[in-house]
Structure 1
Amino acid sequence: MWFPLQLNMTFHLFIVALAGAGAAVIAMVHYLMVLSANWAYVKDACRMQKYEDIKSKEEQELHDIHSTRSKERLNAYT
């Protein structure tokens, strides 16, 4: 009488363990997806920061060139 009960309990524990393993796999896949999305975001932010730095330096150089030429023109007229 106890043998079928033990076999039934073993089957239920096997199903629970299988479900737990499936949940662990889903959790790992989710973790890897979040990790790769964050890495892409940081990489993109780094590239955008470099672009903004280069852009501001070029704008500053253009502003300096323009102000220098304006001063030269003013000096030429006086």
Structure 2
Amino acid sequence: ICEKILDLTFHLFVCALAGAGAAVIAMVHFLMALAANWGYLKDASRMQKYEDIKSKEEQELHDIHSTRSKERLNAYT
């Protein structure tokens, strides 16, 4: 009887150890996905700021160019 109890205890210990290992693997997987998503969002934020600055500069250049074109037309008249 004592042998059966020890055998059952060993099997339960192995199952608990396997479950803990699976939980650790799942946690590592979750943290890796979390880090990847954070990096993606940070990169997207930087890209949005870059696109905003780029569009403002292009608009300013377009305004300067159109102003100079108007000045040239007014100079000839």
Q: What's the TM-score, normalizing by structure 1?
A: 0.97
- The alignment-based identity, stated in percent, is 81
Please list every run of 5 or more consecutive structure 2 residues that lacks an aligned counterpart in the other structure: none
Please list every run of 5 or more consecutive structure 1 residues that lacks an aligned counterpart in the other structure: none
**1:8: Cα distance to partner?**
0.4
Residue in structure 2 matched with residue 51 of structure 1 by the alignment: 50
**1:56: Cα distance to partner?**
0.1
Instruction: Give yes or no for the alignment of 1:75 onto 2:40.
Output: no
Amino acid at match of 2:19: G
Alpha-carbon distance between aligned partners in 1 of 2:60 and 2:35, rounded to the nearest angstrom: 38
**1:33: Cα distance to partner?**
0.3
Residue in structure 1 matched with residue 37 of structure 2 by the alignment: 38
Aligned residues: 77
Q: What's the TM-score, normalizing by structure 2?
A: 0.99
Q: Which runs of 4+ in 1 moved over 3 A?
A: none
